[in-house]
Structure 1
Amino acid sequence: MSQSHALSDDQVGQELKKMTAFIKQEAMEKGREIEIKADEEFAIEKSKLVRQETSSIDTAYEKKFKAAQMSQQITRSTVANKTRLKVLSARQELLDSIFEQAEKKLTDATKDKGKYTTILKNLMLEGFYALNESKVQVRGRKADYDLLKKAIEQASKEYKEKVGKEISVSIDEENPQPEGSAGGLSIVGGGGKIDINNTFEERLKLLQDNALPSVRTTLFGKNENRRFYN
């Protein structure tokens, strides 16, 4: 190589500076690319983690919300059932009280002897028609024997007029109604095997069974949840 083609030290220094600057520039650009790529990957990973954490939070919240709803429903149901039971209990107490008061007033029907005799006659006639026998007995309170005799006379006469048959009626003095009875009587037929209980206490029980639905409706209104009445 000739001397004229040789590079001077200054020229070599300048070339080295250029190469260094170029390499440095390349390195900076590569570094920026890496930094941008890293930022993008970081953003993607961050977004992924945020979505996962949000989903986890949403799932946990949904479970807690459902649990809270279920707990609220159970509480409401429990309170509603307790309230319903209290209402039913209070209603039953009122109904029991009504019939208890009615039972206490049963003896009031015996105070007017004339009306009571008519009641005894009508109770007898019910038994006469039901038994359709020629010979029966009646059981009443000892205190009512005088009234029973009058009622027997009236009932026997009316029975003959309505049915066209004679009927023999006697008082079963060996088996009177308890003195604690409120009143009324029993009609015995079938040779003592059939006993139609027409005492005031028994008639009140029948009334309680038969009239209870109507009494409930009168006091509390119709039951909207009830579909069948027969």
Structure 2
Amino acid sequence: MAHALSDDQVAGELKKMVAFIKQEALEKAREIEIKADEEFAIEKSRLVRAETAAIDTQYERKYKQASLSQQIAQSTVKNKTRIKVLSARQALLDGIFEDTRGQLKSICEDHGRYEEVLTNMVLEGLFLMNEPSVELRCRSCDNDIVGRAVEKAKEIYKQMAGEDIAVNVDHDWPLEECHGGVWITGSNGKISIDNTLEQRLKLLETEALPSIRTTIFGPNPNRRFYD
């Protein structure tokens, strides 16, 4: 036959049950807290990685933009500088040829030198034409000196080509607005050679320009092939 518990025993059992429940609750709360801390740490790490990746992506994009902007700015400055250099070089060349053009008159004033130049010009025209007779035009003021140059050129031509050539100086159609030289036309009147000093200077500007550039400015570092 079971004995009934006294009030003190009941109270003691209740205290044990309360203590057990409280301990279980504390342990459960601790587990929940630990799990929450772990989940918080995981979420925090994920957010940090995501934000770091976003910042890295944004930095890389801005860096690329800044780098591209810098390259564009450098290219713009380089192109502007190159254009200025080319313009300055062209201005220098133009000035050289303009000064040379202004000195053409001095060639004619030195009669001995001018007669030699005319002789060579006429002789060149005779060989280029390669005809038995040619027409020649010159300035009215050059009639006498051209006449002497023609005779010398004819003699040299005969010695070199082994045949005579007739040269008719057209005094009725003189050259106008030039600094000297001659204009030679073949016997058929269809082919002419402009051998004036101005024309020779124009040819020099185009044909000799590369070598003049090299002489003044040095070899072009960007040029890979040379004739």
TM-score band w.r.t. shorter chain: over 0.9
- Counterpart in 2 of 1:67? 65
- Counterpart in 2 of 1:172? 170
2:124 alignment partner, one of 116, 123, 126: 126
1:225 alignment partner, one of 210, 222, 226: 222
Cα distance in 2 between the residues matched to 1:152 and 1:217: 37
1:102 alignment partner, one of 94, 100, 103: 100
Q: 1:39-58 to 2 correspondence within 5 Å?
A: 39-58=37-56
RMSD: 1.2
Q: 1:124-203 to 2 correspondence within 5 Å?
A: 124-178=122-176, 180-203=177-200
For 1:185, give the aligned amino acid. V
Please state whether the residue corresponding to 2:208 is helix, strand or coil. helix
Q: 1:7-22 to 2 correspondence within 5 Å?
A: 7-22=5-20
- In structure 1, stretches of 5+ residues that fail to align are none
Cα distance in 2 between the residues matched to 1:218 and 1:115: 26
TM-score, normalised on structure 2? 0.96
**Residue deviations 1:34-77 (CA, integer Å, cap 9, x gap):** 11111111111111111111111111111111111111111111
TM-score, normalised on structure 1? 0.95
Please state whether the residue corresponding to 1:170 is helix, strand or coil. strand
Check the 8 A contact 2:136/2:170 in 1, yes or no.
yes
Cα distance in 2 between the residues matched to 1:38 and 1:176: 112
- Counterpart in 1 of 2:209? 212
**Residue deviations 1:113-171 (CA, integer Å, cap 9, x gap):** 12211211111110111111121111110010011111122222222222221111121
Cα distance in 2 between the residues matched to 1:145 and 1:194: 23
Check the 8 A contact 2:108/2:114 in 1, yes or no.
yes
Check the 8 A contact 2:135/2:187 in 1, yes or no.
no
Q: Structure 1 runs of 4+ off > 6 angstroms?
A: none
Please state whether the residue corresponding to 1:181 is helix, strand or coil. coil
- In structure 2, stretches of 5+ residues that fail to align are none
Please state whether the residue corresponding to 1:222 is helix, strand or coil. coil
In the TM superposition, residue 174 of structure 1 has moved relative to its aligned partner by 2.8
